[in-house]
Amino acid sequence: MTIHDEAQQELDRLLPATKAATGTSLLVTDPELFAFYQDFAFGETLRHVDLDRGDRLIYQLAATIAVGAVVEFRLLLAAALEIGVTPVQVKELTYHSVAYVGIARAIDFVVATNEVFTERGIPLPVEGQSTTTPESRMAAGLAKQKEIFGSETIEGIYAKSAADTIHFQEFLSANCFGDYYTRTGFDVRHRELITFALLAALGGADSQVKSHVTANLNVGNSRTDLISVLTALVAYIGYPRTLNALAQVEAAAPAPL
The predicted pLDDT at position 12 comes to: 84
Rounded CA separation 5/11 (Å): 10
Instruction: Specify the amino acid at residue 228.
Output: S
Contact 68, 105 (CB under 8 A): yes
Rounded CA separation 238/197 (Å): 13
DSSP 156: H
* Residue 20 or 224, more confident: 224
pLDDT in tens, 61-78: 999 999 999 999 999 999
Which of 36-40, 158-162, 168-172 bottoms out in mean pLDDT, i.e. has the lowest?
36-40
Cα 28 to the center of its chain, rounded Å: 30
pLDDT in tens, 112-168: 999 999 999 999 999 999 999 999 999 999 999 999 999 999 999 999 999 999 999
The predicted pLDDT at position 19 comes to: 54
Domain ranges of the chain: 132-180
